[in-house]
Structure 1
Amino acid sequence: MSFPNPPKAIKLVLLGEAAVGKSSLVLRFVSNDFQENKEPTIGAAFLTQKCTIGDKTIKYEIWDTAGQERFASLAPMYYRNAQAALVVYDITKPASFLKARHWVKELHEQASKDIIIALVGNKYDLVEDSNDELRKVSVEEGKKLAEEEDLLFFETSAKTSFNVNEVFIGIGSKIPDNSPVTETRPENGARIDLSSQPAQKSNSSCC
Protein backbone atom coordinates (compact mmCIF):
# COMPACT_ATOMS: atom_id res chain seq x y z
CA MET A 1 0.00 0.00 0.00
CA SER A 2 1.23 3.50 -0.78
CA PHE A 3 0.87 6.43 1.61
CA PRO A 4 -0.05 9.91 0.34
CA ASN A 5 2.50 11.95 2.29
CA PRO A 6 5.80 11.23 4.04
CA PRO A 7 4.86 9.78 7.44
CA LYS A 8 5.22 11.79 10.63
CA ALA A 9 6.98 9.73 13.32
CA ILE A 10 5.09 9.81 16.64
CA LYS A 11 6.40 8.23 19.83
CA LEU A 12 3.58 6.47 21.68
CA VAL A 13 3.84 4.63 25.00
CA LEU A 14 1.43 2.14 26.58
CA LEU A 15 1.03 2.10 30.35
CA GLY A 16 -1.14 0.03 32.64
CA GLU A 17 -1.24 -2.82 35.11
CA ALA A 18 -0.03 -6.28 34.11
CA ALA A 19 -2.46 -8.47 32.15
CA VAL A 20 -4.82 -5.68 31.07
CA GLY A 21 -4.05 -6.46 27.42
CA LYS A 22 -1.56 -3.77 26.38
CA SER A 23 0.52 -6.11 24.24
CA SER A 24 -2.61 -7.66 22.75
CA LEU A 25 -3.87 -4.22 21.71
CA VAL A 26 -0.56 -3.47 20.01
CA LEU A 27 -0.47 -6.87 18.31
CA ARG A 28 -4.01 -6.38 17.02
CA PHE A 29 -3.16 -2.90 15.71
CA VAL A 30 0.17 -3.80 14.13
CA SER A 31 -0.51 -7.25 12.67
CA ASN A 32 -4.28 -7.78 13.10
CA ASP A 33 -3.56 -10.81 15.28
CA PHE A 34 -4.53 -12.03 18.74
CA GLN A 35 -2.82 -14.60 20.96
CA GLU A 36 -4.95 -16.03 23.76
CA ASN A 37 -2.04 -16.80 26.09
CA LYS A 38 0.47 -14.08 25.35
CA GLU A 39 3.66 -14.07 27.40
CA PRO A 40 4.09 -11.06 29.74
CA THR A 41 6.23 -8.22 28.42
CA ILE A 42 9.67 -7.96 30.02
CA GLY A 43 10.85 -4.35 30.28
CA ALA A 44 9.32 -3.04 27.08
CA ALA A 45 8.69 -4.07 23.49
CA PHE A 46 9.07 -1.79 20.49
CA LEU A 47 6.94 -1.96 17.35
CA THR A 48 6.01 0.39 14.52
CA GLN A 49 2.91 0.87 12.38
CA LYS A 50 1.59 3.43 9.94
CA CYS A 51 -1.83 5.01 10.15
CA THR A 52 -3.44 7.19 7.46
CA ILE A 53 -5.93 9.84 8.58
CA GLY A 54 -7.27 11.87 5.67
CA ASP A 55 -4.17 13.21 3.90
CA LYS A 56 -1.94 12.76 6.98
CA THR A 57 0.19 9.68 7.52
CA ILE A 58 1.54 8.86 10.97
CA LYS A 59 4.21 6.33 11.74
CA TYR A 60 3.56 5.22 15.30
CA GLU A 61 6.71 4.20 17.15
CA ILE A 62 5.18 2.20 19.96
CA TRP A 63 6.74 1.39 23.33
CA ASP A 64 4.71 -1.34 25.03
CA THR A 65 5.83 -1.27 28.66
CA ALA A 66 5.67 -4.13 31.15
CA GLY A 67 2.90 -3.85 33.74
CA GLN A 68 4.62 -5.68 36.58
CA GLU A 69 5.40 -3.43 39.54
CA ARG A 70 9.10 -4.26 39.42
CA PHE A 71 9.34 -2.53 36.04
CA ALA A 72 7.41 0.61 37.05
CA SER A 73 10.57 2.60 37.73
CA LEU A 74 11.57 2.15 34.08
CA ALA A 75 8.42 3.83 32.74
CA PRO A 76 9.79 7.41 32.67
CA MET A 77 12.51 6.25 30.27
CA TYR A 78 9.80 5.24 27.82
CA TYR A 79 7.27 8.07 28.20
CA ARG A 80 9.96 10.77 28.14
CA ASN A 81 9.41 12.90 25.02
CA ALA A 82 6.42 10.78 24.00
CA GLN A 83 3.79 12.67 22.00
CA ALA A 84 1.04 10.20 22.88
CA ALA A 85 0.16 7.59 25.49
CA LEU A 86 -2.40 4.83 25.95
CA VAL A 87 -3.33 4.21 29.58
CA VAL A 88 -5.01 0.81 29.59
CA TYR A 89 -7.17 -0.91 32.20
CA ASP A 90 -9.29 -4.07 32.31
CA ILE A 91 -13.01 -3.27 32.63
CA THR A 92 -13.43 -6.43 34.75
CA LYS A 93 -10.72 -5.45 37.28
CA PRO A 94 -11.27 -2.34 39.46
CA ALA A 95 -7.66 -2.38 40.69
CA SER A 96 -6.45 -1.86 37.14
CA PHE A 97 -8.63 1.26 36.88
CA LEU A 98 -7.07 2.65 40.05
CA LYS A 99 -3.65 2.00 38.51
CA ALA A 100 -4.77 3.81 35.37
CA ARG A 101 -5.60 6.86 37.50
CA HIS A 102 -2.05 6.70 38.87
CA TRP A 103 -0.52 6.61 35.39
CA VAL A 104 -2.66 9.52 34.19
CA LYS A 105 -1.54 11.58 37.18
CA GLU A 106 2.11 10.68 36.59
CA LEU A 107 1.92 11.55 32.91
CA HIS A 108 0.37 14.93 33.65
CA GLU A 109 3.10 15.65 36.21
CA GLN A 110 6.17 14.28 34.44
CA ALA A 111 5.55 13.74 30.72
CA SER A 112 5.46 16.38 28.00
CA LYS A 113 2.81 19.01 28.70
CA ASP A 114 1.37 18.52 25.21
CA ILE A 115 1.13 14.73 25.40
CA ILE A 116 -2.11 13.27 24.02
CA ILE A 117 -3.49 10.61 26.38
CA ALA A 118 -6.14 8.02 25.57
CA LEU A 119 -7.79 6.13 28.43
CA VAL A 120 -8.60 2.64 27.18
CA GLY A 121 -10.88 0.16 28.95
CA ASN A 122 -9.96 -3.19 27.41
CA LYS A 123 -11.63 -6.65 27.34
CA TYR A 124 -15.02 -5.43 26.18
CA ASP A 125 -15.57 -8.89 24.67
CA LEU A 126 -16.11 -10.23 28.20
CA VAL A 127 -19.19 -8.08 28.72
CA GLU A 128 -20.59 -7.35 25.23
CA ASP A 129 -23.10 -10.21 25.32
CA SER A 130 -25.05 -8.63 28.20
CA ASN A 131 -22.74 -10.35 30.66
CA ASP A 132 -22.74 -7.30 32.91
CA GLU A 133 -21.93 -9.22 36.07
CA LEU A 134 -18.31 -9.42 34.86
CA ARG A 135 -18.06 -5.66 34.35
CA LYS A 136 -16.54 -3.93 37.38
CA VAL A 137 -15.70 -0.54 35.85
CA SER A 138 -18.65 1.22 34.26
CA VAL A 139 -18.54 3.22 31.05
CA GLU A 140 -19.59 6.24 33.10
CA GLU A 141 -16.58 5.89 35.41
CA GLY A 142 -14.22 5.78 32.46
CA LYS A 143 -15.87 8.76 30.77
CA LYS A 144 -15.83 10.76 34.01
CA LEU A 145 -12.10 10.28 34.48
CA ALA A 146 -11.48 11.14 30.84
CA GLU A 147 -13.52 14.33 31.12
CA GLU A 148 -11.82 15.36 34.37
CA GLU A 149 -8.33 14.80 32.98
CA ASP A 150 -8.93 15.88 29.36
CA LEU A 151 -8.33 12.42 27.90
CA LEU A 152 -9.65 10.55 24.91
CA PHE A 153 -11.75 7.58 26.02
CA PHE A 154 -12.42 4.21 24.40
CA GLU A 155 -13.56 0.76 25.40
CA THR A 156 -11.88 -1.90 23.29
CA SER A 157 -11.44 -5.60 22.74
CA ALA A 158 -8.07 -6.74 21.48
CA LYS A 159 -9.63 -10.20 21.06
CA THR A 160 -12.38 -9.12 18.64
CA SER A 161 -10.59 -5.96 17.38
CA PHE A 162 -13.51 -3.80 18.61
CA ASN A 163 -12.48 -0.11 18.59
CA VAL A 164 -8.74 -0.88 18.39
CA ASN A 165 -8.04 1.04 15.18
CA GLU A 166 -10.34 3.80 16.41
CA VAL A 167 -8.00 4.44 19.36
CA PHE A 168 -5.04 5.09 17.11
CA ILE A 169 -7.07 7.08 14.59
CA GLY A 170 -8.41 9.18 17.48
CA ILE A 171 -4.93 9.91 18.76
CA GLY A 172 -3.63 10.65 15.28
CA SER A 173 -6.46 13.11 14.69
CA LYS A 174 -5.26 15.07 17.73
CA ILE A 175 -1.62 15.25 16.60
CA PRO A 176 -0.92 18.83 15.48
CA ASP A 177 0.40 19.20 11.94
CA ASN A 178 3.32 21.22 13.30
CA SER A 179 4.33 18.69 15.97
CA PRO A 180 8.06 17.87 15.99
CA VAL A 181 9.07 14.79 14.03
CA THR A 182 11.17 12.46 16.12
CA GLU A 183 12.68 9.12 15.29
CA THR A 184 12.72 6.62 18.13
CA ARG A 185 15.43 4.02 18.27
CA PRO A 186 15.10 1.15 20.71
CA GLU A 187 17.93 1.04 23.20
CA ASN A 188 17.42 -2.64 23.90
CA GLY A 189 16.02 -5.32 21.64
CA ALA A 190 15.38 -5.38 17.95
CA ARG A 191 13.15 -3.04 16.02
CA ILE A 192 10.03 -4.79 14.78
CA ASP A 193 8.24 -3.43 11.72
CA LEU A 194 5.48 -5.81 10.66
CA SER A 195 3.90 -5.72 7.24
CA SER A 196 0.75 -3.70 6.73
CA GLN A 197 -2.75 -5.12 6.51
CA PRO A 198 -5.17 -4.05 3.73
CA ALA A 199 -6.50 -0.55 4.30
CA GLN A 200 -10.04 0.12 5.34
CA LYS A 201 -12.17 1.84 2.70
CA SER A 202 -12.37 5.21 4.40
CA ASN A 203 -10.43 8.45 4.69
CA SER A 204 -9.00 7.21 7.97
CA SER A 205 -7.31 3.86 8.26
CA CYS A 206 -4.77 2.15 10.40
CA CYS A 207 -3.33 -0.87 8.80
Structure 2
Amino acid sequence: MDGQPPEQAQIRGHRHVCARLRGSKDETDRASMHRSARGMAQVDGVLHPGAAPGQPCIFKLVLLGSGSVGKSSLAVRYVKNDFKSILPTVGCAFFTKVVDLGAACLKFEIWDTAGQEKYHSVCRLYFRGANAALLVYDITRKDSFCKVQQWLKDLEEEFHPGEVVVMLVGNKTDLEEEREVTFEEGKEFAESKGLLFMETSAKRNYQVAEVFNAVARELLRREESKEGQRQRRDAPLTLSERPSQRGRCCAH
Protein backbone atom coordinates (compact mmCIF):
# COMPACT_ATOMS: atom_id res chain seq x y z
CA MET A 1 0.00 0.00 0.00
CA ASP A 2 3.05 2.26 0.22
CA GLY A 3 2.96 4.76 -2.65
CA GLN A 4 0.38 4.97 -5.39
CA PRO A 5 0.19 2.37 -8.21
CA PRO A 6 1.57 3.63 -11.55
CA GLU A 7 -0.98 4.94 -14.02
CA GLN A 8 -1.36 2.97 -17.21
CA ALA A 9 -0.78 5.22 -20.24
CA GLN A 10 -3.32 4.70 -22.96
CA ILE A 11 -0.78 5.43 -25.66
CA ARG A 12 2.56 3.63 -25.47
CA GLY A 13 4.45 6.59 -26.89
CA HIS A 14 3.24 8.82 -24.04
CA ARG A 15 4.42 6.65 -21.15
CA HIS A 16 7.55 8.69 -20.59
CA VAL A 17 5.42 11.86 -20.42
CA CYS A 18 3.20 10.31 -17.74
CA ALA A 19 6.27 9.32 -15.74
CA ARG A 20 7.52 12.91 -15.82
CA LEU A 21 4.12 14.21 -14.73
CA ARG A 22 3.97 11.65 -11.93
CA GLY A 23 7.41 12.64 -10.68
CA SER A 24 6.44 16.30 -10.87
CA LYS A 25 3.34 15.62 -8.77
CA ASP A 26 5.40 13.84 -6.09
CA GLU A 27 7.79 16.77 -5.93
CA THR A 28 4.87 19.20 -5.67
CA ASP A 29 3.33 17.13 -2.85
CA ARG A 30 6.62 17.06 -0.94
CA ALA A 31 7.19 20.79 -1.42
CA SER A 32 3.68 21.52 -0.16
CA MET A 33 4.26 19.25 2.84
CA HIS A 34 7.53 21.02 3.63
CA ARG A 35 5.76 24.40 3.66
CA SER A 36 2.92 23.03 5.76
CA ALA A 37 5.25 21.28 8.21
CA ARG A 38 7.39 24.39 8.65
CA GLY A 39 4.31 26.41 9.51
CA MET A 40 3.06 23.75 11.89
CA ALA A 41 6.46 23.43 13.53
CA GLN A 42 6.26 27.12 14.41
CA VAL A 43 2.79 26.63 15.87
CA ASP A 44 4.02 23.56 17.76
CA GLY A 45 6.54 25.76 19.50
CA VAL A 46 3.76 27.37 21.54
CA LEU A 47 2.01 24.11 22.41
CA HIS A 48 2.89 23.14 25.94
CA PRO A 49 1.35 21.22 28.82
CA GLY A 50 0.46 24.43 30.68
CA ALA A 51 -3.22 25.31 30.40
CA ALA A 52 -5.61 27.97 31.63
CA PRO A 53 -7.36 27.21 34.94
CA GLY A 54 -10.17 24.74 34.40
CA GLN A 55 -8.85 23.71 30.98
CA PRO A 56 -7.15 20.36 30.25
CA CYS A 57 -3.42 20.33 29.66
CA ILE A 58 -2.53 19.94 25.97
CA PHE A 59 -0.01 17.34 24.84
CA LYS A 60 1.20 16.72 21.30
CA LEU A 61 1.45 13.03 20.36
CA VAL A 62 2.85 11.75 17.06
CA LEU A 63 2.40 8.32 15.46
CA LEU A 64 5.49 7.08 13.64
CA GLY A 65 6.18 3.92 11.67
CA SER A 66 6.26 2.32 8.25
CA GLY A 67 3.40 2.52 5.79
CA SER A 68 0.43 0.17 6.28
CA VAL A 69 1.26 -0.77 9.89
CA GLY A 70 -2.06 0.67 11.07
CA LYS A 71 -1.18 4.10 12.48
CA SER A 72 -4.25 5.77 11.00
CA SER A 73 -6.45 2.84 12.05
CA LEU A 74 -5.25 3.17 15.64
CA ALA A 75 -5.94 6.91 15.65
CA VAL A 76 -9.41 6.56 14.10
CA ARG A 77 -10.31 3.67 16.40
CA TYR A 78 -9.23 5.67 19.45
CA VAL A 79 -10.80 9.01 18.51
CA LYS A 80 -13.95 7.83 16.67
CA ASN A 81 -14.22 4.19 17.80
CA ASP A 82 -14.40 3.20 14.15
CA PHE A 83 -12.48 0.85 11.88
CA LYS A 84 -12.47 0.78 8.11
CA SER A 85 -10.04 0.53 5.23
CA ILE A 86 -8.00 3.72 5.11
CA LEU A 87 -5.91 5.03 2.23
CA PRO A 88 -2.21 5.69 2.98
CA THR A 89 -1.68 9.01 4.75
CA VAL A 90 -0.11 11.77 2.67
CA GLY A 91 1.89 14.13 4.86
CA CYS A 92 0.04 14.18 8.16
CA ALA A 93 -3.49 13.73 9.53
CA PHE A 94 -4.62 15.51 12.69
CA PHE A 95 -6.99 14.44 15.49
CA THR A 96 -7.85 15.71 18.96
CA LYS A 97 -9.14 13.79 21.95
CA VAL A 98 -9.86 14.80 25.55
CA VAL A 99 -8.76 12.09 27.97
CA ASP A 100 -10.45 11.82 31.36
CA LEU A 101 -8.37 9.77 33.76
CA GLY A 102 -10.62 10.45 36.73
CA ALA A 103 -8.17 12.34 38.91
CA ALA A 104 -6.92 14.40 35.96
CA CYS A 105 -7.90 15.43 32.46
CA LEU A 106 -5.77 16.21 29.41
CA LYS A 107 -6.15 16.85 25.69
CA PHE A 108 -4.20 14.94 23.05
CA GLU A 109 -3.34 16.57 19.75
CA ILE A 110 -2.60 13.48 17.66
CA TRP A 111 -0.45 13.76 14.53
CA ASP A 112 -0.65 10.74 12.25
CA THR A 113 2.37 10.85 9.93
CA ALA A 114 2.87 9.24 6.52
CA GLY A 115 4.86 6.03 6.57
CA GLN A 116 6.07 6.04 2.97
CA GLU A 117 9.85 6.31 2.67
CA LYS A 118 9.64 9.29 0.30
CA TYR A 119 8.00 11.34 3.07
CA HIS A 120 10.42 10.32 5.84
CA SER A 121 12.46 13.53 5.95
CA VAL A 122 9.32 15.67 5.81
CA CYS A 123 7.63 13.76 8.64
CA ARG A 124 10.55 14.57 10.93
CA LEU A 125 9.32 18.16 10.87
CA TYR A 126 5.95 17.10 12.25
CA PHE A 127 7.26 15.52 15.44
CA ARG A 128 9.20 18.57 16.53
CA GLY A 129 7.76 19.91 19.75
CA ALA A 130 6.07 16.59 20.55
CA ASN A 131 5.46 15.46 24.11
CA ALA A 132 4.88 11.80 23.23
CA ALA A 133 5.32 9.36 20.36
CA LEU A 134 3.91 5.98 19.41
CA LEU A 135 6.35 3.86 17.40
CA VAL A 136 4.04 1.48 15.55
CA TYR A 137 4.99 -1.72 13.74
CA ASP A 138 3.03 -4.59 12.20
CA ILE A 139 3.61 -7.87 14.06
CA THR A 140 3.28 -9.72 10.72
CA ARG A 141 6.10 -7.72 9.11
CA LYS A 142 9.61 -8.04 10.51
CA ASP A 143 10.80 -5.19 8.29
CA SER A 144 8.38 -2.76 9.97
CA PHE A 145 9.81 -3.74 13.37
CA CYS A 146 13.34 -3.05 12.11
CA LYS A 147 12.20 0.29 10.70
CA VAL A 148 10.99 1.36 14.15
CA GLN A 149 14.63 1.50 15.22
CA GLN A 150 15.28 4.24 12.63
CA TRP A 151 12.32 6.26 13.86
CA LEU A 152 13.61 5.91 17.41
CA LYS A 153 17.01 7.14 16.28
CA ASP A 154 15.32 10.18 14.73
CA LEU A 155 13.60 10.91 18.04
CA GLU A 156 16.86 10.53 19.96
CA GLU A 157 18.47 13.09 17.64
CA GLU A 158 15.60 15.53 18.18
CA PHE A 159 14.98 15.21 21.93
CA HIS A 160 17.01 14.96 25.12
CA PRO A 161 16.71 11.68 27.09
CA GLY A 162 13.42 11.59 28.98
CA GLU A 163 12.08 14.67 27.21
CA VAL A 164 9.40 12.74 25.31
CA VAL A 165 7.31 9.73 26.34
CA VAL A 166 7.76 6.94 23.78
CA MET A 167 5.69 3.78 23.50
CA LEU A 168 6.46 0.87 21.18
CA VAL A 169 3.22 -0.55 19.73
CA GLY A 170 2.94 -3.90 17.95
CA ASN A 171 -0.29 -3.71 15.94
CA LYS A 172 -2.48 -6.32 14.17
CA THR A 173 -2.64 -9.03 16.84
CA ASP A 174 -5.79 -10.21 15.02
CA LEU A 175 -3.37 -11.74 12.47
CA GLU A 176 -1.66 -13.97 15.04
CA GLU A 177 -1.18 -16.86 12.60
CA GLU A 178 0.93 -14.58 10.38
CA ARG A 179 3.08 -13.21 13.22
CA GLU A 180 6.76 -12.57 12.42
CA VAL A 181 7.67 -10.53 15.53
CA THR A 182 7.13 -12.24 18.87
CA PHE A 183 5.76 -10.45 21.91
CA GLU A 184 9.05 -11.15 23.69
CA GLU A 185 11.06 -9.48 20.90
CA GLY A 186 9.00 -6.32 21.16
CA LYS A 187 9.11 -6.26 24.95
CA GLU A 188 12.85 -6.92 25.08
CA PHE A 189 13.60 -4.12 22.62
CA ALA A 190 11.34 -1.69 24.48
CA GLU A 191 12.93 -2.49 27.83
CA SER A 192 16.44 -2.10 26.40
CA LYS A 193 15.54 1.42 25.22
CA GLY A 194 13.41 2.47 28.20
CA LEU A 195 10.17 2.54 26.18
CA LEU A 196 6.62 1.66 27.16
CA PHE A 197 5.28 -1.35 25.25
CA MET A 198 1.93 -2.85 24.26
CA GLU A 199 0.45 -4.93 21.47
CA THR A 200 -2.84 -3.91 19.88
CA SER A 201 -5.45 -4.68 17.27
CA ALA A 202 -7.14 -1.63 15.80
CA LYS A 203 -9.51 -3.98 13.94
CA ARG A 204 -10.71 -5.72 17.10
CA ASN A 205 -10.28 -2.66 19.33
CA TYR A 206 -7.82 -4.58 21.51
CA GLN A 207 -5.83 -2.40 23.94
CA VAL A 208 -6.15 0.72 21.76
CA ALA A 209 -7.50 3.01 24.50
CA GLU A 210 -5.09 1.38 26.96
CA VAL A 211 -2.13 2.52 24.85
CA PHE A 212 -3.15 6.16 24.83
CA ASN A 213 -4.21 6.10 28.49
CA ALA A 214 -0.86 4.64 29.54
CA VAL A 215 0.94 7.42 27.67
CA ALA A 216 -1.39 10.01 29.24
CA ARG A 217 -0.68 8.74 32.75
CA GLU A 218 3.07 8.80 32.15
CA LEU A 219 2.88 12.35 30.77
CA LEU A 220 0.97 13.54 33.84
CA ARG A 221 3.37 11.71 36.16
CA ARG A 222 6.33 13.48 34.56
CA GLU A 223 4.55 16.84 34.69
CA GLU A 224 3.83 16.38 38.39
CA SER A 225 7.45 15.44 38.97
CA LYS A 226 8.66 18.54 37.11
CA GLU A 227 6.23 20.76 39.03
CA GLY A 228 7.51 19.34 42.31
CA GLN A 229 11.08 20.07 41.27
CA ARG A 230 10.12 23.64 40.31
CA GLN A 231 8.42 24.22 43.66
CA ARG A 232 11.43 22.93 45.56
CA ARG A 233 13.75 25.08 43.45
CA ASP A 234 11.66 28.22 43.93
CA ALA A 235 10.98 27.69 47.63
CA PRO A 236 12.56 30.42 49.86
CA LEU A 237 15.66 29.35 51.72
CA THR A 238 15.41 29.07 55.51
CA LEU A 239 18.71 30.01 57.07
CA SER A 240 19.54 28.53 60.44
CA GLU A 241 21.38 30.58 63.05
CA ARG A 242 25.08 30.49 62.62
CA PRO A 243 27.63 30.29 65.44
CA SER A 244 28.93 33.68 66.52
CA GLN A 245 32.50 32.41 66.41
CA ARG A 246 33.89 31.22 63.10
CA GLY A 247 36.82 28.96 62.70
CA ARG A 248 39.99 30.69 61.60
CA CYS A 249 42.80 29.39 59.51
CA CYS A 250 45.43 31.04 61.69
CA ALA A 251 45.47 32.03 65.36
CA HIS A 252 46.82 35.41 66.38
TM-score, normalising length: structure 2: 0.65
Q: How far did 1:101 drift?
A: 1.2
Bigger CA drift: 170-179 or 140-149? 170-179
- Identity of matched residues, %: 48
Aligned equivalent of 2:15: none
Q: CA RMSD in A?
A: 1.4
Choose which of 90, 96, 103 in structure 1 pairs with 2:151: 103
Task: Tell which has more relative contact order, 1 or 2 (C-alpha 8 A, sep 6+).
Answer: 1
Q: 1:122 is aligned with what amino acid?
A: N
Q: How far did 1:112 drift?
A: 4.9
Q: SS in structure 1 opposite 2:223?
A: coil
Aligned equivalent of 1:202: none
Alignment of 1:14-163 (within 5 A): 14-35=63-84, 37-113=85-161, 114-127=163-176, 131=177, 134-163=178-207
Aligned equivalent of 1:196: none
Counterpart-to-counterpart distance in 1, 2:160 and 2:209 = 24
Q: Is the 8 A contact 2:124 2:154 kept in 1?
A: no
Q: Is the 8 A contact 1:15 1:103 kept in 2?
A: yes
Q: 1:46 is aligned with what amino acid?
A: F
Counterpart-to-counterpart distance in 2, 1:31 and 1:79 = 23
Q: 2:140 is aligned with what amino acid?
A: T
CA 1:74–1:112: 2 relative to 1, 3 Å: farther
Structure 1, unaligned runs of 5 or more = 181-207
Which runs of at least 4 in structure 1 moved beyond 4 Å after TM superposition? Answer: none
Q: Is the 8 A contact 1:82 1:111 kept in 2?
A: no
Q: Is the 8 A contact 1:90 1:122 kept in 2?
A: yes
Aligned equivalent of 2:46: none
Counterpart-to-counterpart distance in 2, 1:99 and 1:111 = 19
Greater Rg, structure 1 or structure 2?
2
Choose which of 223, 233, 239 in structure 2 pairs with 1:177: 223
Structure 2, unaligned runs of 5 or more = 1-53, 228-252
Q: 1:23 is aligned with what amino acid?
A: S
Counterpart-to-counterpart distance in 2, 1:83 and 1:52 = 18
